[in-house]
Every structure is written in structure tokens, then in C-alpha cells.
Amino acid sequence: MVENPLYICSIVFGYAYFVLKCGPKFMEKREPYSLKNFIFYYNIFQIVSNSIIVYVMYTAGWTTEFTLGCEPLRTSTRPIDMRLLNVVHWTYMLKTIDLIETMVFVLRKKNNQISFLHVYHHISTVLVTYICTKYYPGGMLSMQMIINGSVHVIMYTYYLLASLGQSTQGFLNPIKPYITRIQIIQFLFLLWHQSQAFLPSCPIPKWIPFMVIGNLLLNLLLFLNFYKKSYSKRSKLK
């Protein structure tokens, strides 16, 4: 799925077509599906998968050899470098699976959750992860996969608890804004970290940080706008 870009282009096009046109039209005169059991086990799958990826990636050099500075791609066949290469590929596969989340929104007729932010975030994450996996599967770019995976563990734990019903809502409602804050902090940290690739002494092709940082900036702006609309006005009303 990495060698031929036709696969990922087909997946992204099919995803966009389903969630923006085909899916809503299919559900137009139908009752929303519950999918309660599917959502429960999907959240568990995401928690476990992201936890494994974070652990394997973190122990594939980040605890022993890498720093938070410039880290170029390592092309050796040492076991530790091959482990990092493999887990980058796992991350790419998981990001394609993440697209299922929006399809669930469509089938549950949660159209208010299918925002530009949501769709762009999923598509851009898949495409950027694909490009990184194909052209630069490792080095300092793997740090964004560690951070993103860690955030997803927190996020899907929240979703799992929320899926249990009204019994957890009183506990979770005050926490909800912090999930978005964590995502915003993620983007800020990664912007700082990835910007080091522009240093003249950092031997990373400069088009890679341009792509990564451009996407991070747009995601940051979208999430800040979402946070302002969703929580700042709510605070003023209180």
C-alpha cells in the first residue's frame, strides 16, 4: 500500500465521497444505526493499537539514541532501526483505519460532527503519514507519531468512557475541553520540534518540514477556532 500511491488516493477519494455525498444520501430516509457495540470495541482497539505503537516506537531509539534535536533518517539494517521502520508502517496502516470513525458518524447521522476540521484532519493525517512512510520513515519525524499516538490513547479512552452512557457524562463533561487543549498543545510542541529540521546543520530534505509544518499550522488554526467557538462562548455564558 506504500509503493503505489494509487491505493492511498483511492482510499482517500472513497472516504471523501462516502462521508460527504454517498453516505448522507444513503442515510437520508433511514433511521440512524446504533452501532453501540462496534463503537465500544473500536475504541478499545484504538487504545490498544496506539499504546503498542507508542511503546514500540519509543523503545526503538528514543530512549537510547535519539534526542529532541535534529535526527536524520537512519538507513542501516540494525534491528533497532528496522523496528522503527516497521512501526512507522504500522502507524500508516492505523491512520487509514482511523477513517472508519467518520463513516460511523454518517451511519449514526451525526452530521454535525462531520465538519471541515474533522474531514481535513483525517485526510491530511493519512496523506502526510503516507508521504513520511514512503520517503522518510523514521528520524525526527517519528516523534510526531509518538506524540499523536499518545494523544489518541487519551482521546479514545475518553470516547470509550463516553460510550458507556449517561452514567459517565457528569464526570466527563468538565474534562471535554481539556481533550481539545491537549490536541492544541500537541501541535505547538510538534511545530517547535519539527522546525529544527530547517537548521542548516540538519541534513533533512527541506520540503519535508515545509509539508509537515504547513499541515500542523493549519490543524492548529482549525482546532483553535473550534475551541473558541465551542468552549470560550460557553464560559462567557456561565
Burial of 176 (0-12, 13-18, 19+ CB in 10 A): middle
89, 118, 121, 193: which one is catalytic?
Answer: 121
Structural contact between residues 85 and 138, judged by C-beta atoms closer than 8 angstroms: yes
Amino acid in position 28: E
Calpha distance 69→78 (Å, rounded)? 22
Nearest to 33 by CA among 23, 48, 41, 43: 23
238 residues of the chain, pLDDT tens digit each: 788 899 999 999 999 999 999 999 999 999 999 999 999 999 999 999 999 999 999 999 898 899 999 999 998 899 999 999 999 999 999 999 999 999 999 999 999 999 999 999 999 999 999 999 999 999 999 999 999 999 999 999 999 999 888 778 788 888 999 999 999 999 999 999 999 999 999 999 999 999 999 999 999 999 999 999 988 765 554 5
Q: Is 0.85 topped by the overall pTM?
A: yes
Q: How far apart are the C-alpha atoms of 46 and 121, rounded to whole Å?
A: 17
Which residues contact residue 37 at a Cβ distance below 8 angstroms, ignoring those fewer than 6 apart? none
- Of 104, 107, 148, 154, nearest to 126 by C-alpha is 148
CA torsion 201-202-203-207 (nearest 10°) is -120
Q: How does DSSP classify residue 17? A: H
For 154, the grid coordinates are: 487519551
121 flagged as catalytic: yes
